[in-house]
Every structure is written in C-alpha cells, then in structure tokens.
Structure 1
Amino acid sequence: MRKVVRIIFKRRVLLALLLIIQFLIFGYIINQSVTQSIFWETFFTLLSISVALHVIWTKGKEAYKISWILQVLIFPVYGTLFYLMFNRQTQTRQFQRKLEEIMETQLPLKMKEEETLEEGKEAYPNHSRLMHYLDYAGNYPVYNDTDVDYYPIGEAFYEAMLEEMNKAKNYIFFEFFIVAEGIMWNSMLKIMEEKVKEGVEVRVMYDDIGSFFKLSKDMQKKLEEKGIQCRVYNPFHPIITSAQNNRDHRKILSIDGKVAFTGGVNIADEYINELERFGHWKDNGIKLSGKGAWGLTLIFLELWHAIADDQYLEDTQVLQPTFEEPSKKINGLVQPFGDSPTDTKNFGEHVLVKLIHSAREYVYIYTPYLILDENLETALILAAESGIDVRIITPKQWDKYLVHVTTRSYYNELVDAGIKVYEYTPGFMHAKTMLIDGKAAVVGTINFDYRSLYLHFENAVVLYGNDALKEIKKDMEDTIEISEEMTQKELSYSLPVRIVKSILRLFAPLM
C-alpha cells in the first residue's frame, strides 16, 4: 500500500491525473451545454460537419481521414474536440521551417559524393531509384567506406555500445525514445560521467512521453549538473493541448561521428532481458563504422538544434570528423535517413514500399505492430501474388492489447494472398527490419503502423550489398524456426470477434 501511495503521489503521476481530470471536467461542461441549449447543440453539429469537410479537403492518407471523419460524425462533441485538440498541430509549420533551415545549412557538410551515388546505382540497379529518391528528395546521401555490424539481440547491441562509448575521444551523442533508470541506463550514464571528466562533450536527448514514468522529472537538471548537455523533446504539460501528438521515436548513439548505432533498442532493462516483460524480448540493431556514421550524426544534430536556438552551422563544422582511407575493401553501401511528421514527405513509408516493389525472390519483415495503410498492404499482397516469398514476424505476446488485436485483424487477407505470417513464440518481437533478396535491407526505428509512419520522428539505414545482410538473413531464418506460423485454422474467429476486429480496423490509423 505504501508503494502504491508513493507511486500515486509522484509528480509525474499527479500531472497525468490532472490531465485526465481536465478531460472529465471539460467534457462534462460541454455535454451539459449541448443537452440544455439548442444554440450549443446546433453549434457543435455545424462544427463537426465543418471539421469533417476540413478532413476531406486536407491532403493525407485516405484511411487516416476516414477514421477521423467517422469519429467526428459518430461523436459530434467529443470526436470534434478530440480532433481539434490532438490532431491540429499548432507549431508544426514553424518547427518544419526551422528543420528545413538547419538541413539546408548542413548540405555542404554531408559529404555527398555524386560519384558514389552513380557507382551505387550501377552496382545495385534494382535499388537505384530508391538511392536516387533519398539522395535528391531528402538530401540523404549514399555512403561508401562504411563497415556494418549486425546485432541480432539487445544484449549484444548494448555491450557493443558500451565498448564504443569507452573509446570516445571528442563527443558522445545520445538520442533515444525511452530512457529508464536501471542497469542499462546506469552503466551508460557512468561512462558518460567519466568521459565528461576527460573533456569529452556529451549530449543526451530523449522523448519526454517515452520516458515519462521511467525517469525522474529533474533528470535534465541532474545531467546538466554533471556536465552533460541534455534536451528533452516535446516536454509534457498537464494542460490539454495539441502539441503532444508528435514524438521523437529515434534511436541514435554517435561516438565522434565515426561510429554510430541505431535499431529498435531503447535504454530500458527489458530490451536486454534483465527485466522480463512479455516474455523474451527480441530486438536488434546495427553499428556503422566510417562515413555512414556521420550521416546518422547529422540526423541527431537536426533535431538537437531544432528544439533550441543554437549556432548550428558553426557547431556542425567543428564536429565533422575526418576519415582516413580504409585499410581494407569494404563491401556495400549505406544510406541513413530520417523521417519527420512535420514535412510532406513520408520517407519511411516510401522506403518500405519501394523496397518491397524491388524484390525478385523474397521479403522478410520484423515488426512489433502491423497496422497497414493501403499502400503497404497492396505492396505486400502484390508481391506475394507475383510469386515473391513474403514472410512477416510479429510478437506472440503483446505489449498493447488493442494494437495486437488490430495487428491480427490483418492476418487473414495477408495469409489468403500467400504471405506467411509468424508470431515470435518466446515473447515480444520489437525489432524493425526488412530484408530484400539478401541484397538490401532497412534497419532502424520504423514500425509498420500509422503512428510510426506519419506521427513520429524516425530514423533508419538502408543497407546495399553489405556482408551484414547474410547475418540478418540467418537471424530471421533462425527466428522463424522458433515462431508459430499463422494458418487459416488459427485465424478462424467467431462472429463477435470478427465484428470487434472490423471496428478496430476502422480506427486503426488513430492507434
């Protein structure tokens, strides 16, 4: 009981409760006004119709728009208020302009080599259009001279991060969606503290909602007192606002701009199976050593400078590393890229779709959530019906029940099309990876769901022809061996369950 009371009276819990109370009071006042006044009833009816028309006219995903329209028209008061409060982002234009200004300033520092792009397009013709698209539409260059190490489990990824952090000479840049106090965070923080004493610059950035109940409210102050620079993306406030929708879901660790990590792993003990949640936690990640690491570092610096007023050009120039000629022939190319919810380019979705369409033999996918929009679902089904071996591995044990049920609602039509769907039997699958023909892959933070593809800041790396692709394939094949294949027998549901799944599909884009 004492433990429960302590949890309840934590400042962050009280802030969350305050927000819920605001919702209840606000909803009660509005509801009373509507039921007792023809004026307010008419006002909200017209407002809901106006919002529905606005959704129709606004550029965006049709499924996303349909979900909002249904909500607004079925629940004129609450649906309309929910849309106005949580979908209309009041600061995205200003924030996007700042991001664009930063990215424009970074262009001369991206080590963009036209020769490398052309050589890559010639060496990997099936993926030449994707290389070109990311390079020209997103200014995300293709890099050579980059070693890629693949880590099939969070424990190995964590040990590699600790090893490289200990080698830092100039700086450590750290950006993760979730940071939780425990073995993992404490060991990394200890190294950061030691490195600061050695004169190494350390910058830490994390998402406030992602780490909301996992870090103390004054963590930023504590880090700064230790000499660690810290920025918290989109801090939570106990006031009803539209500013909380977009989150920083990225995961980047850069050491001196020469070595960088990314993948699905957050900084919490369940990711390295020191804490059991939802069975065995399966995750993965990669390390880039060489020019490609600078590409990930620039993605970190974009958001770092966007959430504060800095002299970003001078800062980035000082941080840019120099690279010696590699002592050995390094196979393959890498193309790190970021995705932002504030721009008009859905780089995450576009990369996934273009890779699926490029497949000639097989497509293997790791994803914790499978809430597909029409483009991705069509691409996967078209690939399978064209003779491509499509396999998708999702979790057997879920972390979010409604999301898991919605994920399963897609299984029938995928299996009908010839796609093999597996659920990771030992526990929770959190990796985000897609492998194409053993010749290309994308590894990073992007889930196959609407929130990841359209509402979060994300990052990933496209790998072309790297030796690590063999390791990714072996890991996926080994994982399939211990996973359960979903057949039509397992997917035979009762009528009530099918109805519930259909309803959830209608609102899937809002999850």
Structure 2
Amino acid sequence: MSWILLTIYILNFLTIIAILFIERKKPVTAFSWILLLTFLPVVGFIFYPILGRNLRPNEKKSFRLKMEFDKLYNKRLHKEHLSSKNTIHKYNFEYEDLIKMNANAGNSIYSQDNEVAVFTRGRDKFTSLFKDIEEAKDSINMLYYIINNDKLGREIVKLLTRKAREGVEVRILYDHIGSISTPHKMFTALINAGGNVYRFSPVGLGTYTRINYRNHRKIVVIDGKIGYTGGMNIGDEYLGMHKRITPWRDTHLRITGSAVYALQERFLMDWSYASKNVNEQDSDELCRFFPVIQSKGSVGMQVLSSGPDINGEQIKRAYIKMINSAKESIFIQTPYFIPDDSFLEALKIAALSGVDIKVMLPGIPDRTLVYRATTSYIKDLLECGAKVSLYAGFLHSKMLLVDGKVASIGTANMDVRSFSSNFEINTFIYDKQLSSECSKIFEEDLGHSKLLTKESYHKRGLRIKLQEGLCRLLSPFL
C-alpha cells in the first residue's frame, strides 16, 4: 500500500511541475490544482486526468479538425447559401464596434430583419415549440444540453417520431453528460421512423477527458425558417414540476428572420462533428436547410458561438465589450456567477464610473457547491457599488442588458466554465423596443427578489463563509 501512495505522490509532484512550467494555466486555476494535488493527493490523482488536463493529443486533433471543418463549412455556407439570401447588412451604428468585433472574431453575420418573441415561462415556450413542430413540413433540427427522460421529454420525442413518419427529416443532437440519465433507447421509435439521433462527444473509458468539454447549446430550427435558442433545456422542471426547486425561471427566444440562418449553420456544424458526416458540406441538398426567408421584422441581431474548439473566448469578450460600452446601466441575470479577473474588473470599472449595476442571482440553488462559489463573489460586487438581488426561486436565465439598448440572451453563464470549456451560443440584440421589454422583465423579476445589503450579507454564518471560501478555491473544478 505504501508504494502505491509513494507512486501517487511522485506523479502528483511531476504534475505540479507540468502545471507550473508546461501547461501554462491561468494563475488561479494553477494555484487551485497545486493545492489539491498537495493536500489531497489521492483526490487530485483521480480528478486531475479528468478535469484538470488540457485536451489529450487525440482530442486536440479532433477539435482542431472540427475547427478547420467549421471554417470551411462557414465559408461555403456564406458563399453559396447565405450571400444570395435576404440578409440585411445595415449596421446599428451605435454598436458598430461590437458588431464588427463579433463578425471578425466569430464570423457572426448581422441581420436586421428579425422578429423575436421572448419567453420567461416554460409552458409558453413549449406550447409554441409544439405548435411549430406540428406544422413542420420539411426538417426539424434540435440540439439540447439536456433532454430528460421525463413526461415532457417523452412527449417531444413522441411528436418528433410522428413527424418523422410523415416524411419530415428529424435530427436530434444531445450532450452525453448533460443527458447522462437519459437512455439512448428512449429514441428507438424515432430512429425506426427515420429520425437521426446522436450524442455529442460521448464519454467512455478511452475518452474520459471529454467530460470537461460539454455542448451546452440549445438550438431548434424548423423548416430553416423558425429558430429557438436560450436557456431552457427539455425537462419537467421548466413546467414547474420539479419536486424540490420551484419556481424555475428562465429566458428563451423564438426567432424568425435571417438570424435563423446562423442558428442553422451552428447546428449543422455541430451535427457534422458528432455524426462524422463531413461530406454533407458537398451535398446540393444543403440548400434546403437555408430557404429564402421573407420576414417583416426589424430587430437587429447577431448569433455568436464560443467553445474549446474556437480560438479565444468569444462570448466573454462580447460581454466585456458590452460592459465597457455602458453609460447608464448594466442588468445581469445568471444562475452561476464565477467570473474571471477580466470580467470582474470590467464590472468594477463600470461601477466606479457611475454605471448602475444590478446583478440577479438565484435565491434557491440547484447545485450547492457551485452556488457557494457564486455567493462568494457577492462581496466583490457589493464593495464596488453594484446592487445584488436574490430571486425567490431558481433563476436559470442568462441575460446581459446594457443601457436598455442592447441585450445578450443565450446559453452562456457568467462563469469560467461557460467562457472557456463549454460549447455555448448567445444572441446579441440591437433593438431598443426589445431591450425595453427585457428591462421590464428584469424589473418584474426584481419584484420577486430580495435585495442584499452589505449588512445582511455579512451576517451569514461562519459555516457558510467557510464553504464559500473552499468552493471559490475549487471553482475551476466545479
């Protein structure tokens, strides 16, 4: 037994050397791993190969090939399928620098012919989604981080199975870890009816490092003309049926207009990676996924993706750009607030510049360890003058609203995992009317929230303070 422990200590020591001089991790992350490997060597020995290592050579190659393929796919789509569509390129000049940054860094097309419906209740979103699926004529492409094996999940799969039998092409892509409790046999009837179902980046004994890189996106595109994206997964909790956590508040969008092309493009790129069907980019049938869209909308939008296969943390950069542009107000809703130094410093600078910053977090957690890491950052916010409110329930909405003029709604949380490790997708909305609607939603949520003061925050017990300190230290692993 002693020689096993000695071997672990030696391997941990070599790992620490690698962290310091080879892997070049961010200082906070490196420090956290060094502490864990030093003081809990057995735990560190188990978890570092899974959560701590950068991608293994074969995974790096896989993601590099995905990135190269995505670029080729993006170029082909823009040249042959999107350039001839009715995408409008008239910039919203007040935020032209943000639009250009997203376009240059993330190949994000800007369009100004969109109609957008905002859902804050799961029942409203799924009622609309079921109706659109019922009316689908050609194709249904669906990507979710979580598709639960519950009443709602089975109802959607049942409807999709019927549509597949009617001749509609149905594709489902779901994250293996996010939907770990969902058996693949749940989709057997759909597959037998002609539907196609894949798990994104499935994890096995030989691919255990993939557990750290999850597809957190939520995308539905119907007939190439109607798109859905936002924070809602597929599960009964979004219908208020969670046994422990209620209410469950989230934000989701239904989009018609040229922005749907970007959602379709992102889905097809992820689909091609997961299904390994890289030849589809040469298929003439690809045109059918990008029909001409006749829209009477006027909302300016961009759709931006980020992930470990993309150089740079695109969504985080866009968040910081928005924060730096703020003159009057910044409203934030997020279930998990574990920012890196650059994001937190941008907020502090804005607060010190007189910008009214309001941050809304859940009052009821879904994951205790992550929640304690989140609440540890409340001190940083309060000390710089930001106002922090706790929603009376679980808040899963991811929204950033600046000056009541520009908003970002999507899948990315304000935390380091969303910024760097997860595959995420966000919309950036340049429209005063829709931003005003988002402001009203935020203000309405404030009516169901408790404002934290420095005094009330500092009254929390010693046990909670110790938990926060430990969880903040461990946040790179959460």
User: Aligned letter for 1:86?
Assistant: L
Which residue in 1 is equivalent to 2:107?
139
Contact persistence 2:8–2:41 (CA under 8 A) = no
Deviations 1:100-153 (A, max 9, x none): 233222323233699978631xx333x222211221122111122111111122
Question: Partners of 2:88 and 2:24 in 1: how far apart?
Answer: 32
**Residue correspondence of structure 1 range 155-304 to structure 2 within 5 A:** 155-213=123-181, 215-237=182-204, 241-304=208-271
- In 1, the alpha carbon distance for the partners of 2:126 and 2:2 equals 54
Query: Which runs of 5 or more residues in structure 1 are unaligned?
Result: 1-30
Supply the distance in 1 between the matched residues of 2:130 and 2:287 (Cα, whole angstroms): 25
- Can you list the C-alpha shifts for 1:412-463, whole angstroms capped at 9, x where unaligned? 12112111111111x1101111111121111111111122221111111111
Q: Matches of 2:90 and 2:40 in 1, distance apart?
A: 56
Residue number in structure 2 paired with 1:119: 90
Identify which of 280, 291, 296 aligns with 1:312. 280
| Amino acid in the other structure paired with 1:416 | E
3-state SS, counterpart of residue 248 of structure 1 = coil
Cα displacement string for residues 248-303 of structure 1 (whole angstroms, at most 9, x for unaligned residues)? 11100110121100111010010121334412010110111011011011111111
What is the letter of the counterpart of residue 367 of structure 2?
Answer: K
Q: Secondary structure of the equivalent of 1:243?
A: helix
SS of the residue 2:311 aligns to: coil
- Contact 1:143 1:335 survives alignment (8 Å): yes
Distance 1:41 1:297, change over 3 A: closer
| One-letter identity of the residue aligned with 1:323 | V
Query: Match for residue 22 of structure 1?
Result: none
CA contact (8 A) 1:371 1:509 kept: no
Q: Pick closer, same or farther for the CA change 1:228–1:407 going to 2, 3 Å.
A: same
Give the match for residue 364 of structure 1. 331
Tell whether 2:42 aligns with 1:82. Answer: no
Contact kept in structure 1, 2:337 and 2:377, CA below 8 Å: yes
Aligned residue pair count: 469
Contact 1:423 1:486 in 2 (8 A): yes
- 1:10-25 equivalence runs, <5 A: none
Worse-matched range after superposition: 276-285 or 197-206: 276-285
2:73 maps to 105
Deviation by residue 1:25-78 (Cα, 9 ceiling, x = unmatched): xxxxxx64244x5xx377336413423324xx4355332232223223334454
Tell me the residue number matched to 1:33.
Answer: 3
TM-score relative to the length of structure 2: 0.91
2:28 aligned to which of 63, 76, 83: 63
**Percentage of matched positions with identical amino acids:** 28
- Residues of 2 paired with 1:432 and 1:420: CA distance? 17
SS in 1 for 2:227: strand
**Distance 1:69-1:225 versus aligned 2 partners, 3 A rule:** same
2:292 is matched with: 323
Shift of the 398–442 alpha-carbon distance from structure 1 to 2, 3 Å rule, reads same
Q: TM-score under structure 1 normalisation?
A: 0.86
- CA 1:314 to 1:71, structure 2 compared with 1: closer, same or farther past 3 Å? same
Letter in 1 for 2:332: I
1:353 aligns with 2:323: no
State whether structure 2 residue 408 is matched by structure 1 residue 442: yes
Q: Which amino acid aligns with 2:51?
A: F
Matched position secondary structure for 1:484 = strand
Q: Is the 8 A contact 1:106 1:313 kept in 2?
A: no
Which structure 2 residues correspond to residues 434-473 of structure 1 after superposition, within 5 A? Answer: 434-465=400-431, 467-473=433-439
Deviation at 1:312, TM superposition (A): 2.5
SS in 2 for 1:242: helix
Q: Is the 8 A contact 2:12 2:37 kept in 1?
A: no
CA distance in 2, matches of 1:387, 1:502: 29
Q: 1:114 to 1:490 in 2, by over 3 A?
A: farther
Q: Is 1:92–1:342's contact at 8 Å kept on the other side of the alignment?
A: no
Which secondary structure does the structure 2 equivalent of 1:337 belong to?
strand
Aligned-residue offset at 1:495: 4.7
Stretches of structure 2 that go unaligned for 5 or more consecutive residues are none
> Using the alignment, how far apart are the partners of 1:494 and 1:113 within structure 2?
62
Shift of 1:380: 1.2
C-alpha RMSD of matched pairs (Å): 2.4
Residues 396 and 423 of structure 1 are in contact (CA less than 8 Å); yes or no, is this contact kept in structure 2? yes
C-alpha separation between the residues in 2 aligned to 1:398 and 1:153? 19
Distance 1:42 1:284, change over 3 A: closer
Measure, in 2, the Cα distance between the counterparts of 1:374 and 1:271.
Answer: 33
